Structure 1
Amino acid sequence: MNLDTGSSDIWVPSVNCETPPLCKSINKYNATASSTHKQAAGSPTFNLGYAVGGLTGLRATEVVSLGGLTINDQIIGEALSEPTDSYNYPFDGTFGFGWSIISATDQNSTPLDNLYEQKQISKRLFCIKFTDQTQATQDAIPPGGELSIGGCDVEADYWRPLSVDGFWQIKMTKLEVGPATDGGNKLTLCENGCEALFDTGMGPIGGPPDEIELITKQIGAHFDKQSNYYIITPCDIASLPNVDFQFGEVTVTLTPKDYMLTVSPQICYTGFSKMNTKYQKADYLLGDPFLRKLTVIYDKDNKRLGFANLK
């Protein structure tokens, strides 16, 4: 399952899937084989949209278990149709840890709230630590990361209040990209502040098309229509600039190794992507390249985000 702080629903591909992207999933949900399956009250269907792609299917009630915790009567989605292949990743479905306002299956039945109300956890708080890809390869650590629900094994070094109700979103005070590869000036964006959504369901860092164009140009990348990525050729990342994300007195710095993916000695993909982020009231969706740099504590009870283990 894909753990997603940018959505609030649990969905799994159905054995009755109708489109190839869903049908190629390794594991599928068979409602008729489940003794705990019940048809959900209200509308029998759901329609879920993301920043990229979406899907439709049937609503159901199930017993859901995660890491030794159990949720009874959890509304889930049995995904039937996915028009485009938006989820070409090594997972079957999605487990949403967002707020109820963005739920497509049931705004009264989000996983985090249900865990709390059913006394599986004592506070609506969780923390997520991503495994650094380079370090995982060097130390033979399994890829992925760590999720703690109801508490966290680290203390936050900094807390930031949420800026928008219903989203894991805070104010970003500045975004800077170091001098360009040709020795030009530093690029500064978001000078008057902007909105940043912490989204574990995002692969790249998404942002406004015009600003992503400026960022990728500053690091010397160009858009490749064949791969649909911004790329650098040849793949020489040693001379590329750092990218700084500032949140008040806290700065999260991405080095070229953090935001570039080496495909071959000749080609590197950047971790930046143009996206329509306004539907989530955010300017930037901070995905994997950013989130690997720290442990993030998501505190719903106090409406805040915590920064820990900043690298």
Structure 2
Amino acid sequence: MNAFIRAVEQAKHIAVTGHIRPDGDCVGACLGVYNYIQDNYPDKSVDVYLEPIQKEFHFLNGCSYVKNQLEEEIKYDLCIILDCSEASRIQPFLPLYENAGETICIDHHISNHGFCDNDIVDPGASATCQLLYLLMEDELITLACAECLYTGIVHDTGVFKHSNTTKETMCIAGELIEKGVNTSHIIDDTFYRKTYAQNQILGYALLESALILDEKVIYSFVTKKWQDLYGVTSADMGGIIDQLRITEGVEVAIFGYELQPCEFKISMRSNDYVDVSKIAAIFGGGGHIKAAGCTMNGTSRDIINNLLPYIEKQLKVESDC
């Protein structure tokens, strides 16, 4: 019996949460755990706490029961933290972690150095949902749970095209498909399909992008002014960084969108050798070797000027090899 199953079986009241601005892997992981517990441990109560979930994930079972705010400080027997590298990243639900009888974190970020009573961290896993599948008993995974796990894997692998996709990833995806998962629905409706406004802001970001450092780096920023003009929010920014990354000849892509005046959410991607997680960590963020992010203050020019020396240093090391 692994630490995850043991913790669940020993608890009666369980809280599940993940990182701020939850993406597909975070949502899939949290709802996957929710469904697994609901389906196999009916004597236990489980509550999921996340910031508002993007509407493309609303089809996942249990989404309507997700709590978006902590109305009172409830002490749970167990707090399960998913797809999150540090406690501060679960704001505004930190009291769940602080007051719980026991805490367990299941994650795949290389920047996770452990912060719970039990930490199950595997940077080699393509997604937290992949790691969860290995912790769950296959015969107890229902279709509802499988849909959540498959969604998470699809999103963190970029539909199985990122370099973190392994043979094990594909085998696990195959096992989930055997449960009856509608793959085309999940891939098309949660990953590729865009609203007109999302396409517009993508077009704007591409038009405003710039190439620097011998065209090895591409960057683009969307200020709050332009978000308001196109009628979009942070939930509509998905896919922009990936489109920038596949620009021919580019090694590093940087995308930032303004959260509030002079505060930007920064995403970074690399194609081959630059470790963007190390750069993100310098500015209080984290992530994976080829996909990381952080929050930075200043103008877009300030931010680029702060990031470039660290990127340039890694580019120079590679060119000298």
Structure with larger RCO (C-alpha < 8 A, sep 6+): 1
TM value normalised by structure 2: 0.28
Q: Which has the higher helix share?
A: 2
